[in-house]
């Protein structure tokens, strides 16, 4: 069975490809953080190597025509892929080289190419997952061009999976050689029902987690597995609210601190900017008299204070600035400059 939830539109498509034995050699999985991209990628790696589905019979996806519904999850290949110890699976992520910790490097791409060139050892398919694929072209062309050669002339029985939170940052030449798999946030009610039925969460807590997760099941599951995650979220959100009301010099100090973090932990900075986006989205909803749609409803007093002090136009403009900053950071611009510009764009209180 597929482990992926809330993406039935994609699982039907993949089932059809598996049944017919006509999977593409490369896929681009796009969607917001924690929506399930890595889960789906591991599902796909398991599906093409699953012993029950016939994945270990070269050239065959299924033992019997018409079998479907994803990998069995119980055979040796499925189990080893889930544990991350499968010899024919390689994950490439940002930060493999500390000198270029904000992007996937040319060395990492070449290692992946060498890995794909070797005949499968445990299964029938070699699978490489590029997590943070938007960084392949960040300030450089070599990694993207190297990967492009593999996508144009892939070895047999190879599956390349590119994961990204920013599809627009992927070079058109790479996008055109991949089949697109856009992951969508789950409806709040569907995610809440999943948490109640599969994670034994109380209905009220499930509804609150689903709202905070914004349809991304991974976020809610992380909170359930690691309760400190929610405390950290609250602490970060409190800092965002405080900085948003601070003088410019304090906002610049915050930007400089965030830029320092970026050099060693790119994803942490992205997550912090997503918090800014969430906060100001909620401020906008309060401003437009839609408090019932606010995600951080335990911050209504603070959100209302901000909403009363700024204009709708400035809020919308700032939300656009956050999205632009996320995009330019993917392009490997100077992080301090980008973040200081964002702090300049924080809506000012109306006189």
20 assigned to some structural domain: yes
Say which CATH number the domain at 315 has: 1.20.272
Closest by Cα among 181, 161, 139, 178 to 335: 139
Task: Summarize pLDDT for 225-244 with one digit per residue, the tens.
Answer: 998 988 999 999 999 999 99
- Claim to verify: residue 168 and residue 34 sit in the same structural domain: yes
116 assigned to some structural domain: yes
- Claim to verify: residue 118 and residue 174 sit in the same structural domain: yes
- For 160-185, letters b (16+ CB in 10 Å) and e give bbbbbbbbebbbeebeebbeebebeb
Do 129 and 91 meet the contact criterion of CB atoms below 8 Å apart? yes
Q: Which residues span the domain enclosing 104? A: 8-182
Task: Summarize pLDDT for 29-40 with one digit per residue, the tens.
Answer: 999 999 999 999
202 assigned to some structural domain: no
pLDDT of residue 81: 96
CA distance 112 to 128: 7
- Claim to verify: residue 77 and residue 159 sit in the same structural domain: yes
236 assigned to some structural domain: yes
Say which CATH number the domain at 124 has: 3.40.50.300
197 assigned to some structural domain: no
- Claim to verify: residue 121 and residue 41 sit in the same structural domain: yes
pLDDT of residue 59: 42
The position carrying tokens 């019979």 is 57
- Claim to verify: residue 43 and residue 109 sit in the same structural domain: yes
- Claim to verify: residue 32 and residue 171 sit in the same structural domain: yes
206 assigned to some structural domain: no
- Claim to verify: residue 166 and residue 230 sit in the same structural domain: no
- Claim to verify: residue 177 and residue 302 sit in the same structural domain: no
- Claim to verify: residue 248 and residue 117 sit in the same structural domain: no
- The alpha-helical segments, DSSP class H, found in 214-265 are 217-225, 228-244, 248-262
Ranges of the chain whose pLDDT falls below 70: 54-68, 95-102, 137-140, 350-351
| Structural domains counted in the chain | 2
- Claim to verify: residue 156 and residue 249 sit in the same structural domain: no
Two structure tokens written together for 14: 């993949």
pTM: 0.83
- Claim to verify: residue 160 and residue 50 sit in the same structural domain: yes
264 assigned to some structural domain: yes
pLDDT of residue 113: 94
CA distance 337 to 152: 37
The position carrying tokens 């914004």 is 214
Q: Last residue of a domain, which of 119, 149, 182? A: 182
- Claim to verify: residue 246 and residue 318 sit in the same structural domain: yes
Two structure tokens written together for 276: 């800014």
213 assigned to some structural domain: no
């Amino acid at each position: 069975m597929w482990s992926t939830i809330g993406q039935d539109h994609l699982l039907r498509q993949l089932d059809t490809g598996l049944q017919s034995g006509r999977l593409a050699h490369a896929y681009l999985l796009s969607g917001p953080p924690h929506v399930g991209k890595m889960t789906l990628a591991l599902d796909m790696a398991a599906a093409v190597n699953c012993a029950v589905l016939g994945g270990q019979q070269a050239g065959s996806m299924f033992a019997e025509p018409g079998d479907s519904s994803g990998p069995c999850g119980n055979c040796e290949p499925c189990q080893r892929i889930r544990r991350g110890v499968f010899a024919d699976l390689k994950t490439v992520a940002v930060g493999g080289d500390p000198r270029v910790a904000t992007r996937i490097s040319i060395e990492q791409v070449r290692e992946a190419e060498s890995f794909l060139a070797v005949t499968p050892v445990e299964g029938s398919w070699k699978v490489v997952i590029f997590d943070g694929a938007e960084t392949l072209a960040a300030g450089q062309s070599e990694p993207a061009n190297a990967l492009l050669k593999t996508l144009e002339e892939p070895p047999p029985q190879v599956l390349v999976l590119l994961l990204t939170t920013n599809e627009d940052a992927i070079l058109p030449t790479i996008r055109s050689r991949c089949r697109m798999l856009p992951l969508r946030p789950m409806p709040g009610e569907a995610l809440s029902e999943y948490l109640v039925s599969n994670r034994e969460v109380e209905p009220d807590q499930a509804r609150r987690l689903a709202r905070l997760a914004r349809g991304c099941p991974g976020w809610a599951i992380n909170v359930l597995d690691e309760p400190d995650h929610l405390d950290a979220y609250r602490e970060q959100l409190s800092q965002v609210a405080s900085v948003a009301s601070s003088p410019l010099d304090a906002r610049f100090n915050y930007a400089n601190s965030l830029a320092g973090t970026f050099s060693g932990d790119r994803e942490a900075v992205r997550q912090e900017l997503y918090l800014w986006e969430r906060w100001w989205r909620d401020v906008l909803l309060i401003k437009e008299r839609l408090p019932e749609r606010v995600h951080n409803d335990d911050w209504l007093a603070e959100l209302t204070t901000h909403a009363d002090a700024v204009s709708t136009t400035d809020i919308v403009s700032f939300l656009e600035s956050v999205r632009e900053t996320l995009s330019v950071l993917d392009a490997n611009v100077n992080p301090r400059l980008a973040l200081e510009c964002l702090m300049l764009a924080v809506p000012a209180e109306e006189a």
